[in-house]
Structure 1
């Protein structure tokens, strides 16, 4: 127990490679810190809690998750997916509620890690994950439309669709032209600069250029506004006037999202980097502590960030020191550069997030899913649509449920029962023996099929049920088998079971199937012996009938 708990805490092994990798870690941390700055600001603004909260989250949560998390190269902070969940919470419960939601969600994620629920991510189907990602990308894009057309005040609606529509309907043409021009310029620079200068973050260059142009031209564009030049002191949130009970469900949704996105990001990072596997349970503990810490400093809930993690890996990160450096870089911005940062136009951040949203679209994965099977394509589309129109967590739950339904349906479709001819030379009594072979899964339809076949053949007195082809059997299937045997015996038929697969014997015994047989001798592993016994049974039954004796029971 103690060893298990220790494995979930920071240790010297986390930095064993640092003496030989510190240069690459330092460079990677600087690079990802620069890349993360505009995203942290933009996600803070887009979620409704402000650029300050986004920056605090990137600094505090990024540092805590790097130290306590389960991945050596994961970078954490505010993300687009979290923005999608937080925006409706801000609209419905106010900005002050976000800190409490973050605190509760952090505790929930922490508990998930302590109870070792990190492996649960492997049970989420691929089409659900990709549909979820596509839906998030669409929502992030829609959330930027108000700022992109110069009407950021319309971004406070719980629905991104409604916000976008209202903003477009109330557009001021002059302001919209300025804003759209900025968005277009930022997008072009983010696409073009990496083509020419691959090592230069296009988003930072675009933000700097657009901000300078806005200042020089005296544009009417709305800016980020004043930012504090230091981190606030940590403090418990103010619960006055807030109903914590109403925030439990939103906090659970945030916790679920934080766990899912963080583990997905860590899994992607593990596949990209040659730095060892990640510990999913420790990752949950780290992310839980990160969100709690962020809330105490007035930030928003955090998750692992796939895009920033990818930049970190591609920049040469080898240990978690790179993610720590990333947080230190952003902390330096808080203390040194909040003045220039406060002058960044909101439309510029909208442009950054629009490009980010487009890059999030899993086009290759979507094409593969749509070409795979109708069921997977439908699950993908349903998850994406529900993500955009309703709720992220609901989308994942519905996607998983639909997947389960299709899987059960496919399992049932593979479950078949056939009446087959008796092998070998025919005997006069064979017409009174029915041999049924069950294949695949044993479910309720099998019982109906056997009953229909037997009742349509009144001369049948012995039914052999061959189970060697049954691949899946649960308690329900075993109970159905017991009901089949019981019904046959009630109808005056003798049931014989042949070939119970070894892996199902214990279950069949526990459920009481064998107890429903007329005699223990009616269980066989060999089909020829089962048929011979059935023929013998009919012979003895006929002899008893000729002599006026009762039907033989012990046979």
Structure 2
């Protein structure tokens, strides 16, 4: 296997100049500052410590930019991972989450090495929208506890159990927390709206602005709300201990499914982010190199206490808007985060959890494509599209993402098989119009030659199309011609049907003749040895040659001309 490992950074450094560095520096600082509140908020919502989120952004962000296949991709923890990470933490614990993350990294690395990056695009849009909107709902629900200040020891990972626990905890609603959450939400939404019109506000990301304001207010007034300091003891002003997480061999088998979920979602989100960025900078990313970088990042991040990371669409878009054009911007973003941790970590103790919750709520609302659920929008598409979209969304919310993607892909495959089967047709050719009825029938009226034209794909989903031929409901001729000019492909099930038809005809003393084989059907028929059993003389170039061959194998009818 020829593994190609060539980070985009190598290509972009050729001719790199001061002007490019200036743009990358500005973008890297902006994105680094933006990443700080998001990394902490996503980590807390996932059931992890804010420190874990920050080090995920630093380590994974650096590696994804340095080794990735995109010029402008920014990596780190994302909102899409919140329900997955939270469920793994609840079911298996933090240490096993780190192991599952490293396993997903190995899977991503293998996907890139085996050049499977382009296959991620085979996932239907209906499945992507369904689970993306479902994840947004799950994220929103996960923030109700901190947004309202509810006193709940731990929330179950299962949807109905979580809703029941939140309902029972409603009497513990904290007024001060709710007021701060609403105020933070209002400031964030107002800032984002005003930033479109006020130039200086665009330089300070909304999440950072509301975080600074709320933290400053809380530091001076000491609001009676939960903070990073009260719940997590603050953020250490030092490098984390580097080491492997505790490994439990008995749980490795059970962690394969969670690891596969992390890998699949990470691959989808990172490549989707890279594709969006390509359209903004008129470039083309290398999907396989990007997957390998994502894999390395997810293996490395848990060594520093971090967890799953992928390409972040919002931070990548911010990087592009603020002038980032090479992976250097992403590397600077990681350096900015590291500097903030080492220099300003003590101030993080005053950050209110209600403000971080408000930030995540806005992220959840913005990540969903809610217009896709509008009745007029749904009416534009087929029943299959609507079924896949709504089923994937429902299962994502009520059960989990793994099952939702599996169900969505299964439904998409079934609908595709049905559609392809419906497009596969077989029709009898009216040879009597050209050769006369008496030339094609025996004295008793039974046919001498039958000819059929197949259209579409002869595969397992269309096997029933040849049942009438297998039963010989049109009679028992001396020769049967199959015109395959409009057959684009034949799979092994289709080949088996042809072989069965040939054997049935041979037992009756009749001959099967194929004509107009396209490249793929012809290749399979010859590679399988069926052409040898059928006889090359019974594989004709066109229908006329097939009819001439059929006349040579049927008994002669005295007094009738066949030419």
TM-score greater than 0.5 by the shorter chain: yes
Report the counterpart of residue 297 of structure 1 in structure 2. Answer: 304
CA contact (8 A) 2:68 2:289 kept: yes
SS in 2 for 1:466: strand
Matches within 5 A, 1:87-166: 87-151=86-150, 153-166=152-165
SS in 2 for 1:497: strand
Unmatched segments (≥5 aa) in structure 2: 197-201, 442-446
Q: Distance in 2 between matches of 1:15 and 1:541?
A: 79
Report the counterpart of residue 450 of structure 1 in structure 2. Answer: 469
406-415 or 162-171, larger mean C-alpha shift: 162-171
Report the counterpart of residue 306 of structure 1 in structure 2. Answer: 313
Report the counterpart of residue 203 of structure 1 in structure 2. Answer: 207
Equivalent of residue 509 in structure 1, options 526, 532, 537 = 526
Change (3 A) 1:247 1:456: closer
Equivalent of residue 419 in structure 2, options 398, 407, 410 = 410
TM-score (norm 2): 0.87
Q: Distance in 2 between matches of 1:24 and 1:111?
A: 34
User: How far off is 1:516 after superposition?
Assistant: 4.7
User: How far off is 1:466 after superposition?
Assistant: 1.8
Q: Distance in 2 between matches of 1:485 and 1:240?
A: 57
Report the counterpart of residue 410 of structure 2 in structure 1. Answer: 401
SS in 2 for 1:500: coil
CA contact (8 A) 1:38 1:349 kept: yes
CA-based RMSD: 2.7
Per-residue deviation, residues 480-533 of structure 1 (Å, max 9, x unmatched): 11211221222343433332234422212233444454x654433332343355
User: How far off is 1:238 after superposition?
Assistant: 3.5
CA contact (8 A) 2:159 2:399 kept: no
User: How far off is 1:74 after superposition?
Assistant: 0.7
TM-score (norm 1): 0.89
Change (3 A) 1:26 1:370: farther
Q: Distance in 2 between matches of 1:464 and 1:242?
A: 60
Matches within 5 A, 1:526-541: 526-535=542-551, 537-538=553-554, 540-541=555-556
Change (3 A) 1:12 1:342: same
Report the counterpart of residue 260 of structure 2 in structure 1. Answer: 252
Q: Distance in 2 between matches of 1:534 and 1:527?
A: 10
Q: Distance in 2 between matches of 1:475 and 1:527?
A: 24
Change (3 A) 1:523 1:89: closer
Q: Distance in 2 between matches of 1:82 and 1:380?
A: 20
Change (3 A) 1:528 1:68: closer
Matches within 5 A, 1:373-522: 373-422=382-431, 423-431=433-441, 432=447, 433-442=449-458, 443-452=462-471, 454-457=472-475, 460-517=477-534, 520-522=536-538
Residues matched between the structures, number:
537
User: How far off is 1:17 after superposition?
Assistant: 3.1
User: How far off is 1:144 after superposition?
Assistant: 0.6
SS in 2 for 1:482: helix
